[in-house]
Amino acid sequence: MIASLREARLTDYAAINDLATALVHFPADRRASLDAVLTSAEHDLIVAEVESEVIGYVHLMTYQDLSHGALAADLLGLVVRSDMRRRGIGTALLREIIRLATKRGVGELHVNAEPDNDAALSFYRRHGAHIVRTQLEFDLAGGSGRRD
Ligand SMILES: CC(C)(COP(=O)(O)OP(=O)(O)OC[C@H]1O[C@@H](n2cnc3c(N)ncnc32)[C@H](O)[C@@H]1OP(=O)(O)O)[C@@H](O)C(=O)NCCC(=O)NCCS
């Protein structure tokens, strides 16, 4: 499957919002978030298109890790529309974001996946990632946008 990759735009909102809902399993109004991401030098948001339809995205945030004295990056979301999976599109998005992060001088790229997300765990392992620690989370009121 040939997908073309490009930087996201505000006009991709509807498709990105659907993909984000599929990723985190809850709806939200993500307009302000998309606007902030697109105007921040610390964020990269790349979409995959097939026949002019956005069917996947990858979102990376790059930051200074003071403890390491180096640039690090978090992969904040990688999702491919369910009917387009297992065709190499996730791989293309991941490779592009790794290329961008490497070019910037990022030393460590982190990604989280739910422990029961076998597809994501297999996918990331297949691409060379390994488990280094467990993530803990504080749920602060109103912090996640989650409604459940
Ligand atoms: C994880 C995800 C992005 C992979 O995208 P994709 O386009 O299907 O991935 P690819 O086709 O490039 O897969 C490459 C390899 O990853 C592994 N993989 C992908 N999906 C898998 C699955 N469901 N089960 C087992 N291995 C899987 C396989 O090794 C696969 O190679 P193969 O198809 O030759 O066996 C996709 O499943 C997805 O969008 N999931 C929902 C969102 C999510 O959980 N994102 C990750 C957390 S941020």
Query: What's the CATH code of the domain at 90?
Result: 3.40.630.30
DSSP β-ladder status, 108-111 and 53-65: unpaired
The residues lining ligand 1, judged by C-beta closer than 6 Å to any ligand atom, are: 23, 77-80, 85-91, 113, 117-120, 122-123, 126
Counting ligand 1 atoms within 8 A of each CB, the residue from 26, 75, 85 with the most, and so the one to mutate, is: 85
Amino acid in the structure at residue 118: D
What is the predicted pLDDT for the residue at 142? 67
Q: Say how many domains are in the chain.
A: 1
* Structural domain containing residue 109: 4-126
Q: What is the pTM of this model?
A: 0.95
- Given a contact cutoff of 8 angstroms between Cβ atoms, the answer to whether 36 and 73 are in contact is no
Decide if 138 is inside a domain.
Answer: no
Beta strand 108-111 pairing with 70-80:
parallel
Could you tell me the distance, in angstroms and rounded to a whole number, from the CA of residue 142 to the centre of ligand 1? 31
Three-state SS at 44: strand
How does pLDDT run along the chain (148 residues), one tens digit per residue?
A: 689 999 999 999 999 999 999 999 999 999 999 999 999 999 999 999 999 999 999 999 999 999 999 999 999 999 999 999 999 999 999 999 999 999 999 999 999 999 999 999 999 999 999 999 999 999 997 666 565 4
* Rounded Cα distance, 83 and 28, in Å: 22
